[in-house]
Chain A
Amino acid sequence: MQPAGSVVPQVPAPIAAALRPLPLLLLRPPLAMLAVRIRDRHPELFERLGPHAAKRFGLDPTDLPFAFVLEPRPAAPSVTPVRQLPRDLDVRIAGPLGALLGMVDGAFDGDALFFSRSLQVEGDMEALLALRNAVDDACIDLRRIALSPLGPAADPLDRAFRRVRAAAGRVAAHRTESRSWN
């Protein structure tokens, strides 16, 4: 049996290790900007979230040495980098960065990632579904929103995004035999 989700691209371990000493303070301004830009471009996302916009979501890219706390408040949305997710979150979503970004990008189906165990979820499942569905509907072009202000400096990141998109679709299947029905 193949390990689950082996086709979801993983951040290579050396890169993850190199990122470890990165001061999280450096990540704060671009992430804050990203949150505000998404809010400005996708007001419908917050309408779809409804009451769940008040919840706190922990996003844990398992192949990175840090995680994020997402608070999708319509008035003041924020994405905060943390070394470790706090305990008092409403929802925790863990999986390879490629899986998390691929869901935003429309490359991956969240349920399929869950079925293949590439994605682990905990907490308030209503809030999780609302976020997943709202993000899926919004068709957020992360690449453009995040990278356009960076100019040519964004090229390596851009290539990483494209690799995720190119991997679109094939989450590793454990077994694909057809079962008889009795």
Chain B
Amino acid sequence: MQLTLGPVLYNWQPDDWRDFHFRIADEAEVDTVVLGETVCSKRAPFFAEHLPAVAERLSAAGKRVLLGSAILISLPRERRQAAELAESGAFMVEANDLTCLRYLQGKPHAVGPFVNVYNEATAAWLAERGARRLSLPPELPMASIRTIAGTLPAVTVEVFAFGRVPLAISARCYHARLHGLAKDNCRFVCENDPDGLPVRTLDGDGFLAVNGVQTLSHTCADLLGEAVALAGAGVAALRLSPQRCDMVAVARVFRDVLDGRCDAAEGHRALARLYPDVPFANGFVHGTAGAGMVA
């Protein structure tokens, strides 16, 4: 079982973003790292200057680099960026929207968790057009994962295993809306919440996290307990989505559990120390409410 570090979904300071990935390159036991601004095209220019150095350092450290495309593409500028990304050719592209797939047809590419792959026929259709990796939608239950992975042994099937789960994308920016700002003049207020802006219910229960145009779960996915079963189902990679915690240590915990150096319960306790105050959840993979934790 491989480990993939997903793209940073939040608006981190460019230097933090660079240093985070440098450390991942030097220390983290992950096989693949996805780079690129996938949530908001307005943020992309800030990372652009660091991207070549980060990609190079990761590659030099033996990690496979994927470039993630934007999740929601509507502006002409965003379309151009998607087309350029698909044609750049330096690294494999992870398509998060069909916009990009139009340009990737026939080229080896990855399909990200934001493309709707719910069944083996769709997975096979994409594989025929060049998809080598499929990171499945986080809401898929185990039975679907098993069927898809079992049908496509030649494709690297990946499951979202750690991090707040991306649940929705919108044309509307909730960070801007909450701050009473227009989206076009948002002043990048999302940078104040590098781990997402907490959203509670009226009863005060933690519920969601807002990240600009994206809405994520309040809970943090933890599929350590399912890792062995997922491997048995033919899943070839687990995705760890960066949160504001020691992701190098998080990757080590997953590696330890996968390699039998510690059991899932022990790993779970380690994760709780590394990322405290956020409840863990695994409901989606069990076909129940995603916010829940099935023991």
* A interface residue numbers (CB < 8 A to B): 181-182
Contacts and interface: CB of A to CB of B under 8 A. Distances in A.
Nearest to B184: A182
B183 interface: yes
The range of chain B's interface size is under 10
Contacts of B182: 182
Interface string B157-192: 000000000000000100011000011000000000
6 contacts: A181-B172, A182-B172, A182-B176, A182-B177, A182-B182, A182-B183
Contacts of A181: 172
A182 B186 CA distance: 11
A77 B182 CA distance: 57
A45 B129 CA distance: 48
Contacts of A182: 172, 176-177, 182-183
A138 to B, nearest CB: 34
Contacts of B177: 182
A181 B176 CA distance: 12
A179 B53 CA distance: 46
A36 B8 CA distance: 64
A126 B206 CA distance: 27
Do most interface residues of chain B lie in helix, strand or loop, or is the interface mixed?
A: helix
A182 B182 CA distance: 7
Nearest to B171: A181
B185 to A, nearest CB: 11
A90 B176 CA distance: 43
A130 B177 CA distance: 37
> When A and B form their complex, which 6 residue pairs have the shortest distance between CB atoms, in order from nearest?
A182-B182, A182-B177, A182-B183, A182-B172, A181-B172, A182-B176
A182 B184 CA distance: 10
A182 B183 CA distance: 7
B224 to A, nearest CB: 35
Nearest to B182: A182
A181 B172 CA distance: 8
A180 to B, nearest CB: 11
Nearest to B176: A182
A58 to B, nearest CB: 28
A50 to B, nearest CB: 23
A182 B174 CA distance: 9
A181 B171 CA distance: 10
A181 B173 CA distance: 11
Interface in B124-155: none
Contacts of B176: 182
Contacts of B172: 181-182
A102 B177 CA distance: 40
A62 B156 CA distance: 61
B41 to A, nearest CB: 18
Interface string B180-218: 001100000000000000000000000000000000000
A182 B172 CA distance: 6
Interface in B38-80: none
Nearest to A181: B172
Nearest to B181: A182
Nearest to B177: A182
B51 to A, nearest CB: 31
A51 B86 CA distance: 52
A181 B177 CA distance: 10
A182 to B, nearest CB: 6
B174 to A, nearest CB: 11
A181 B183 CA distance: 11
A181 B170 CA distance: 12
Nearest to B173: A182
Nearest to B183: A182
A178 to B, nearest CB: 17
A181 B182 CA distance: 10
B45 to A, nearest CB: 23
A138 B177 CA distance: 45
B190 to A, nearest CB: 16
B14 to A, nearest CB: 28
A62 to B, nearest CB: 27
A179 to B, nearest CB: 12
